[in-house]
Amino acid sequence: MIEMLSGALLFSYFIAGIHFFRFWTRTGDRLFLHFVAAFWLFALNQLATSISVVANETVGYEYVLRVLGFVVILAGIVDKNLMTRRP
């Protein structure tokens, strides 16, 4: 049951990335590209944590992808705010 939910979450992250990619093609806003990268990093994180060989919860190296995803989102927000202040 947990494997099925893990797969559903992975698929949801991937689909969210596709939707943000479609929004980027319509608007050209770089913030959407940051969200694409972040959600695909979340999908890779979910894949890494669902593999039983890698899923050693005492180490936690696979969660680096999740942290990178949040850093990409924060960088996108900062970039968007700095871009609107420029003339």
Q: pTM here?
A: 0.84
56: pLDDT strictly greater than 70: no
5: pLDDT strictly greater than 90: no
CA-CA distances (angstroms) from residue 56 to 38, 48, 61, 68? 23, 10, 9, 19
Mean pLDDT calculated for residue range 25-39: 95
Mean pLDDT of the chain: 87
Q: Is the dihedral angle over the CA atoms 3, 9, 15, 21 positive or is it negative?
A: negative
32: pLDDT strictly greater than 80: yes
57: pLDDT strictly greater than 70: no
For residue 2, what pLDDT is reported?
74
Q: Which two tokens stand for residue 35?
A: 């969200």
